[in-house]
A and B are shown apart, each in its own frame.
Chain A
């Protein structure tokens, strides 16, 4: 078992070097990952921070313009506000719902015998591993009168003219949320399945001796606390997934969606980055999105600390 050694902040420089010397092997082993992580994750974050303070159109040199990207973003970009609204609605519904759905499904499936369980895991996990599988929804919600849902509704006499599902502002966001929920049984779900199996069964025995009365108590006092790492991991994924939605919106509702009905912060970002070539402004949006995601993760982690208490 590896014990966590927290390096105190007040450790002196020599101390640090000495420790590096001492744990040379560990640093050598860490090096490949650390270098990639720094080059491809840490550096870009700081680059985005820098570019967010410039006007940069990708083909000419960036020019420093201070905070005006941010002032434009918060005070004069109506579409950004639409995007924030959509993203919030989206995240508030699909984040928690998707998270709980994943956990419940994993919990139910855990009760099945291993062979049947394997089949169900594959079934639930399939939508999120098969890339753009959600394009199937495009067929269902096709706007033509021959689209599947329109076709059935018209056959049953519920509607007489086709509904433009993915072009009508009234339906777009709802449909996107449904599709996102369908997709949410992803990696988080898989870690829950693994976490549930990792719970030590002797704990349940001990629990029942100690007076656990029903399955809910068992869940709350034993199962959940013993799989906290997986819960945190799943939560991080659910939150970043919900805030970062853009592919689904682009592919289903079109880009840009009709009257920005399916516009999210992430699609707003790619609008500026890919179409308008305004990397500076896009970086500002990215920074804001980054901060929102971090904040949400903090909130969720503190909520998760209450599990089992």
Chain B
């Protein structure tokens, strides 16, 4: 399905010929626009395209085309056209000059079309980079620990070559343009940026170091001598491509600079973050003594990728100086080591000018690129074969049956043979490159074994189907892992040739002394201690149920934003669960404020008078307006408000655009659509994922969409004996008993393998899991509203329940006013956005924060499309109120559900029984708690 968006064509001036065309139309948002499209446009792969242009001549001259009027802003889906006149048939590379225009952390990307057509398939998704820098130097908190640096985005103009986002092709994309006029259309496929110009330039061929050296010498440059060593600490990076490339702490050795036993020092760059193709860091070095040739050396640790070498491109003053500076490799080592930029024969000297220079290190794939590309190619073919086989055998074939695959699809068997051979070649090549076998070659070898067995004896195919599938998924994750080329950099040095380098590791005794001191300090340091802060009038304590990084960031935000303004200091402590909170409250040593508390706990505390009712505070109305009504339902009881939401998670529908396209199915919008496509899915041995009560809340979703409710308006009785509740339960149970939807399943695995192309799942956990564990399907899936129910008036009800955690003030607190002020700050748009983006810059997209604040949701790094769907779903969520005895509800519904599907008990009977037990419990709790 192709997106039908009208394109903007803006006048573009051609510098050489000054031919101008102009027309502009605005983009229309269509219904289809809400979905990720899987481009079915037919075009060849870049590999084939590149092969075809092998004999063509390279261009001689650069052609630069600017946008008339200086610049054009491309938001998602908009495009700009450039008219160019090519003097003669030639091969060009394209450079784009642009500025990013939004605050997202996602990569901007574009699609490029020449005369209206994609030149090759991957031209539909080309990534551009962003510019980031540290907002400040590394600062310390009151106890002397380094604080994480906050990151700011630069919107400076940058010029980048259009190239393969996967890094499989080393050089920028080549485009063959015939003589005459062409129109080059550039469309933003993600994010918003301002384009000023494109440049068509002749492909650049790098000289070897030897040749370059002669050139330098001819230009009068000599090797530097008698200079002082210049040491640049890696954490002091000037500009970088990603917010994740910030300083982190490594406390493993006394030789890391700076190393302090007592406090945390952010002293390295990397540590698992500098691991994606295309990420780069740039340093400005201001004190080069003279124009000369210098030696470059690194103190690095490459301890993540055993069995492969990690590569970096080295840019000096914006260009790669010679061929050897491309894909310079670092071998695996457990400890930091000094690596001199060079080979066995000596260092490669780099030319630097007197004064300020820039040096940039860019993550590249090196030898791995070719391997990844070929494994992925095999994987694509084999995945196709797998899906074809399971249309006949199903995912769990009967091994005693002869499916006759060899006569039904002989090409599949043939494919196994060719791919086994292809994979064997890759294994041989890897051993050749990296010298030994590794866990990566082991994965391929095991796949080869299975392929060979299936080829040699096609009767074994049915019994090998599941082994085959697991081989495919480990190959998929192997490609992801092998591309993660992490290194940690402590510092790098610019010295004269063959200078003596300082030791990279501590001596044996230094290590022991360092470790011992660290151990002793661990007894005396109080990590939650607040230092002296000037002007503080009041101190409150706050507990958060969360992770360590989250707590650290919260602390930093409080110290930088909240305390200076309010004069209230906040002592923040991390607790593991609500049990701790209960015990502390019981003992009278609880905190003033507790953050991120699940809704059920809040109301349990509230019914027993342990939580402060916030409705009487003047700030509350303002706070409440930051959230949807549905998020507030669970923390209200009557007129009282017991908490202010922090996170909100809810279900959305995840879909695999590629598979639905293959099956010719549309993404379902209503449950009727779902019923319609279920047969097609089943025929292809695929399933629809609908979570049961244990993992999700699809019954609530269906019930509310059909106009039902959990409890009566006065919250005194439950309504599971109503006609709509019973009918819904019947339909819902039928999905599992009649339509064969699995009651329990592993969403991430099945979604990634393609067995479950459609699934309703909680957006935050599922999104984070997919981003972290299924990079192989990136760009092939999307999220949209859960299927809805058509109402009588024709509108579609997409209701889905929302689950919140919230901040509370405890009744025992003696600082309630200050506590409310703190929550007011914490729930504000600004604090929530800062927290969310800080967290993401620290943990990457897998650390995306399920913020309840509506304005915050839009400002986190979702793409426009995702943000729009998520917001739309959030607006369509419903809140289920918490009642005394409410813990009984989920459990009783689940029991009823199990009784129906396992034991075949009559739906009505099961629901009556459930309703009666629930009502009794609710009544009992109300009496016991004295709630009228």
- Residues of A that sit less than 8 Å from B by CB: 55, 57-60, 143-146, 151, 154-157, 160, 162, 164, 167-170, 254, 256, 258-260, 274-278
Within the complex, the shortest CB–CB distance from B76 to chain A, in Å, comes to 38
Tell me whether B400 and A254 are in contact (CB under 8 A): no
B582 pairs with A58, CB closer than 8 A: yes
What is the CA–CA distance of A165 and B375 in the complex, to the nearest angstrom?
Answer: 38
In the bound complex, residues from chain A placing their C-beta under 8 Å from that of B928 are 55, 57, 278
Contact A155 B608 (CB under 8 A): no
- In the complex, residue of chain B having the shortest beta-carbon distance to the beta carbon of A145: B396
Chain A min CB distance to B22 (Å): 59
Contact A168 B582 (CB under 8 A): no
Q: Which of B463, B579, B694, B887 touches A254 (beta carbons < 8 Å)?
A: B694
Across-interface contacts of A274 in B (CB, < 8 A): 579
A160 pairs with B585, CB closer than 8 A: no
- Which single residue of chain B is at the shortest CB-CB distance from A156? B399
Interface stretch (choices B478-486, B669-677, B743-751, B865-873): B743-751
Verify B579–A258 contact, CB threshold 8 A.
no
Give the distance to chain A from B653, nearest Cβ to Cβ, in Å.
Answer: 21
Whole-angstrom distance between the alpha carbons of A151 and B467 in the complex? Answer: 11
Residue pair B398, A146 in contact (C-beta under 8 Å): no
Contact between A169 and B887 (Cβ–Cβ < 8 Å)?
Answer: no
Q: Is the CB of B899 within 8 A of A259?
A: yes
B743 touches which of A155, A167, A254 (Cβ 8 Å): A167
With CB as the reference atom, state the residue of chain B lying closest to A72: B924
Specify which of A58, A144, A155 is in contact with B463 (CB 8 Å cutoff).
A155
Whether A144 touches B899, Cβ cut-off 8 Å, given contacts A58-B582, A151-B466, is no
Known contacts A160-B396, A169-B902, A275-B887; is-contact A59 B585 (Cβ 8 Å): yes
Task: Supply 26 A–B pairs (Cβ within 8 Å), ascending by A.
Answer: A57-B608, A58-B586, A60-B608, A143-B743, A144-B745, A144-B746, A146-B749, A155-B399, A155-B463, A157-B398, A162-B742, A164-B743, A164-B902, A167-B898, A167-B902, A168-B902, A169-B902, A254-B694, A258-B894, A258-B898, A259-B895, A260-B895, A275-B887, A276-B925, A277-B604, A277-B608
Apart from A59-B609, A144-B742, 17 more pairs, CB < 8 Å: A58-B582, A60-B608, A60-B609, A144-B745, A145-B396, A146-B466, A151-B466, A155-B463, A160-B396, A164-B902, A167-B898, A168-B898, A169-B902, A254-B694, A260-B895, A276-B925, A278-B928
Note all chain A residues with C-beta closer than 8 A to B610. 59
Mark contacts of B872-900 with chain A using CB atoms, 8 A cut-off: 1 yes-contact digit, 0 otherwise: 00000000000000010001001100110
* Chain A residues closer than 8 Å to B903, beta-carbon distance: 169
Residues of B within 8 A of A143 (CB): 743-744
Scoring B579, B743, B746 by chain A CB atoms within 10 A of each residue's CB, the highest score goes to B743
Residue pair B891, A256 in contact (C-beta under 8 Å)? yes
Q: Chain A nearest CB: distance from B903 CB in Å?
A: 7
Q: Which residue in chain B gives the minimum CB-CB distance to A274?
A: B579
Tell me which residues across on chain B come within 8 A of A58, comparing CB atoms. Answer: 582, 586, 608
Residues of chain A lying within 8 A (CB to CB) of residue B895: 258-260
Interface size class of B (residues with CB under 8 A): 20 to 34
Whether B400 contacts A157 by the Cβ 8 Å rule is yes
- 7 tightest CB-CB pairs across the interface, nearest first? A59-B608, A143-B744, A59-B610, A259-B895, A258-B898, A154-B396, A57-B608
Interface code B604-630, partner A: CB below 8 Å = 1, 0 otherwise?
110011100000000000000000000
A271 to chain B, nearest CB (A): 9
| Complex: chain A residue closest to B743, CB-CB | A164
Q: Say yes or no: A145 contacts B605, CB within 8 Å.
A: no
B199 at interface by CB-CB < 8 Å: no
In the complex, residue of chain A having the shortest beta-carbon distance to the beta carbon of B579? A274
From residue B733, how far is it (CB to closest CB) to chain A in Å? 14
Bound Cα distance A156, B399 (Å): 7
Residue of A nearest to B897 (CB): A258
**A277 and B605 alpha carbons, distance in the complex (Å):** 9
Residues of A within 8 A of B898 (CB): 167-169, 258-259
Q: In the bound complex, how far is the Cα of B749 from the Cα of A182, in angstroms?
A: 31
**A144 and B395 alpha carbons, distance in the complex (Å):** 13
Expressed in whole angstroms, the minimum distance between the Cβ of A52 and any Cβ of chain B is 15
Q: Chain A nearest CB: distance from B319 CB in Å? A: 51
Q: Closest CB of chain A to B179's CB: distance in Å?
A: 59
**Smallest CB gap from B917: residue in A:** A78
A154 to B610, CA, bound (A): 52
A258 to chain B, nearest CB (A): 5
What 1/0 flags go to B570-585 for Cβ under 8 Å of A? Answer: 0000000001001001
Q: How far is the CA of A50 from the CA of B610 in the complex (A)?
A: 24
Digitize B890-931: 1 where CB-to-A-CB distance is under 8 Å, 0 elsewhere: 010011001100110000000000000000000001001100
With A and B bound together, what is the CA distance between A266 and B749 in angstroms? 36
Residue contact A59 to B586, C-beta cutoff 8 Å: yes
When distances are taken between beta carbons in the complex, the residues of chain A under 8 Å from B586 are 58-59
Within 8 Å CB of B579, what residues of A? 274
Q: Which residue of B is nearest A281, CB measured?
A: B928
| B688-722 Cβ-contact flags toward A at 8 Å (1 or 0) | 00000010000000000000000000000000000
Contacts of B887 in A (CB 8 A): 275-276
Whether A157 pairs with B605 at a CB distance below 8 angstroms is no
Residues on the A chain within 8 Å of B894, using CB: 258
Interface string of B844-874 (1 = CB under 8 A from A): 0000000000000000000000000000000
Indicate if the CB atoms of A57 and B929 lie closer than 8 Å: yes
Give B812 Cβ to nearest chain A Cβ, in Å.
Answer: 10
B605 to chain A, nearest CB (A): 7
- Among A146, A274, A275, A278, the one with the most B-chain Cβ atoms within 10 Å of its Cβ is A146
